[in-house]
Amino acid sequence: MSEALINTVLLSLLACITIGIVRTRNLFGVVVLSGIYSLLIASVMMVLDAVDVAMTEASVGAGMSTVLLLGTLYLTKGHEMKAFKPPLLPLFVAIGVGAMLVYGTIDLPPFGAADQPVNQHVGPDYLARSKPETGIPNVVTSVLASYRGFDTLGETTVVFTAGIGILMLLRRRRKKDDTLREGEK
């Protein structure tokens, strides 16, 4: 019961922060709020037993993304312009999509039930096999690196590719290009 209570309180705080993010026009405020949001969602993940994920989110979401967003704000402007027209259509679309999804949610199994289909097939299988087959007690690590190693190789490659893309976009031009440019003048 206490688990569900902590979960509920943290999720409500999360919703409050989200309203703050939507309404704030100062981008610096938005960035700080998104940092708080990441920390809160890391706590929610902790309550949801996803300790590895919580650790990642706390270091990545509250640490790295905030630094990157602040760096971008330093390079650009710090304030958001007021919209030309009232955003009625987007509001309608967002509420409509939300309502349809809520309608779909009613059929889902209740939160925390052990007998829902998600917890019946693959998950318990990994839990049962991890220790005898690999000897690794942390099932998340054994699934990540051993059972789904190929998957993780793909993810690592994606991170690498995104990094290469950023370097291509942001790295200063070579001196050769500069001399070309001056030559044009």
Partner 1 sequence: MRLDAILRIVTKMLIPFMLIFALYVHFHGDFSPGGGFQAGVVIAAAVVFHALVFGLYPTQKIVPPRLVTLMMPAGVIIYAGVGFLTLYLGENFLDYDVLSHNHHPEKPNYHAQERGVLWVEVGVLTTVAGTMISIFYAFAGRGKGEDKTK
Partner 2 sequence: MIFEEFINYYNYFITLFLMSSGLYIVVARGNMVKKLVGLGLFQTSVYLLYLSPGKILGGTPPILAEGYEVYSNPLPHVLILTAIVVGVATLGLGLALVVRIHEAYGTIEEDEIFSKGDDLQEEDNKNSTLPGDAK
Residue 48 in contact with partner 1, rule: CB under 8 A: no
Min CB(184)–partner 2 separation in Å? 18
Cα angle 70, 72, 78; round to 5: 75
Binding residues for partner 2, total number by CB under 8 A: 92
Q: How far apart are CA 77 and CA 58, in angstroms?
A: 27
Min CB(156)–partner 2 separation in Å? 9
Place of tokens 């044009």: 184
Residue 153 in contact with partner 2, rule: CB under 8 A: no
- Residue 53 contacts residue 44 (beta carbons within 8 Å): no
When the beta carbons of 74 and 84 are compared against partner 1, the nearer one is: 74
Min CB(148)–partner 2 separation in Å? 6
Neighbouring C-beta atoms of residue 182, cutoff 10 Å: 8
x/- map, 55-74, partner 2, by CB under 8 A:
-xx--xx--xx--xx-xxx-
In 3D space, the residue among 59, 82, 63, 83 whose CA is nearest the CA of residue 71 turns out to be 63
When the beta carbons of 83 and 170 are compared against partner 1, the nearer one is: 170
Min CB(156)–partner 1 separation in Å? 5
In the region spanning residues 89 to 118, those forming contacts with partner 2, defined by CB under 8 A, are 90-91, 93-95, 97-98, 101-102, 105-106, 108-114, 116, 118
Amino acid at 98: G
In 3D space, the residue among 36, 42, 48, 66 whose CA is nearest the CA of residue 7 turns out to be 48
